């Protein structure tokens, strides 16, 4: 098991973000709400862009905010004695040496059900435009461990989101983002607490929502009630 090192009881978490940082905010809010039960503290937020909204959010929460190019990230993580790294909308490639060092200790959130609609260049509105163009009826959010290839590391948890008639990339993206905000902080906290980890064989264990659910998270929220009620829905509508 590759559980994060636990210095002084809680994991030291770094969040890397290039954009507005709504996932960072969800993470900060979740950890704050967990209070003493939280397994991690965000000790630094790192961005490649000085104008990233994520940096403002960090400062507003009293968290150190740094702007560094990807090649300096390894040194910064070392210097800050970081146990766990969360990529929350970070758009740059992280050097392989850093990814390897943080194997099982670096997670990313992606706004689709990987491996569909992922890979280099698939970010932001592009993901949702591709989902709509493909005509699929279900998309979702994925949290996965980071590998040296974009969006290809071991999947930790996924959550479905329906694509609705008339959706634009903006409306669909907003629906997916709400799910990201629920899923990402919980998974980060679970990894920080050693409740979910990557084993030597490159498999995630134990699964965050129990073995029966594999990597697929079902919970009692409006976003997933459609899936939970699927059988009943079909019966009622006599669609098939």
Question: Which residue pairs from 217-220 have beta carbons closer than 8 angstroms and sit at least 24 positions apart in sequence?
Answer: 217/157, 217/158, 217/159, 217/183, 219/159
The least distance separating ligand GRF from the CB of residue 19, rounded to whole angstroms, comes to 3
Alpha-carbon distance of 191 to 154, in angstroms, equals: 13
Out of 30, 110, 128, 144, pick the active-site residue: 110
The least distance separating ligand GRF from the CB of residue 227, rounded to whole angstroms, comes to 20
The least distance separating ligand GRF from the CB of residue 21, rounded to whole angstroms, comes to 5
Measured in whole angstroms, how far is the alpha carbon of residue 79 from the centre of its chain? 24
- Across 146-215, the runs of DSSP E, i.e. the strands, are 155-162, 197-198, 204-205
58 near ligand GRF (CB under 6 A): no
Residues 118-157 that bind ligand GRF (CB under 6 A): 123
Q: In sequence order, what DSSP letters do the residues of 133-156 get, joined into one string?
A: HHT-SEEEEEEEE--SSTT-SPEE
Alpha-carbon distance of 41 to 8, in angstroms, equals: 11
Residues 80-119 that bind ligand GRF (CB under 6 A): 88-89, 109-111
The least distance separating ligand GRF from the CB of residue 72, rounded to whole angstroms, comes to 21
The closest of 132, 105, 107, 128 to 118, measured between CA atoms, is 128
Contact 156, 145 (CB under 8 A): yes
The least distance separating ligand GRF from the CB of residue 88, rounded to whole angstroms, comes to 5
- Is 110 tagged catalytic? yes
Look up residue 42 and give its two tokens: 């965000």
Alpha-carbon distance of 22 to 161, in angstroms, equals: 18
Q: Which is nearer to ligand GRF, 21 or 193 (CB)?
A: 21
Q: What are phi and psi of 163, to 5 degrees?
A: -95, 125
- Piece of 15-23, 36-44, 66-74, 131-139 that binds ligand GRF (CB under 6 A): 15-23
# binding residues, ligand GRF (CB under 6 A): 14
Contact 142, 155 (CB under 8 A): yes
Q: Which is nearer to ligand GRF, 21 or 185 (CB)?
A: 21
Q: Which of 2, 6, 20, 119 binds ligand GRF (CB under 6 A)?
A: 20
Q: Which is nearer to ligand GRF, 3 or 88 (CB)?
A: 88
Q: Which of 4, 19, 160, 185 binds ligand GRF (CB under 6 A)?
A: 19
Q: Which of 180, 185, 187, 188 binds ligand GRF (CB under 6 A)?
A: 180
Length of the chain: 240
Q: Tell me the residue nearest to ligand GRF as measured from the CB.
A: 89
Residues that bind ligand GRF in the complex, under the rule CB under 6 A: 17, 19-23, 88-89, 109-111, 123, 177, 180
Residues involved in catalysis: 110
């Amino acid at each position: 098991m590759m559980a994060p090192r636990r210095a002084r009881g809680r994991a030291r978490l770094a969040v890397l973000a290039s954009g507005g940082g709504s996932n960072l905010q969800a993470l900060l809010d979740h950890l704050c709400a967990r209070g003493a039960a939280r397994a991690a503290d965000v000790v630094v937020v790192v961005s490649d862009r000085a104008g990233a909204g994520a940096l403002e959010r960090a400062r507003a929460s009293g968290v150190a905010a740094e702007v560094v190019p990807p090649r300096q990230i390894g040194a910064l993580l070392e210097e800050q004695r970081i146990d766990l790294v969360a990529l929350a909308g970070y758009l740059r490639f992280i050097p392989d040496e850093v990814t390897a060092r943080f194997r099982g200790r670096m997670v990313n959130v992606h706004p689709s059900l990987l491996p569909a609609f992922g890979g280099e260049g698939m970010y932001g509105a592009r993901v949702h435009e591709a989902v709509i163009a493909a005509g699929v009826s279900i998309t979702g959010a994925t949290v996965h461990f980071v590998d040296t290839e974009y969006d290809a590391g071991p999947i930790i948890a996924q959550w479905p989101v329906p694509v609705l008639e008339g959706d634009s990339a903006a409306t669909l993206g907003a629906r997916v983002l709400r799910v990201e905000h629920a899923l990402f902080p919980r998974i980060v906290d679970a990894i920080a607490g050693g409740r979910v980890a990557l084993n030597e064989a490159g498999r995630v264990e134990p699964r965050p929502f129990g073995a029966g659910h594999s990597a697929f998270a079902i919970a009692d929220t409006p976003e997933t009630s459609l899936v939970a009620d699927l059988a009943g829905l079909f019966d009622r509508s006599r669609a098939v």
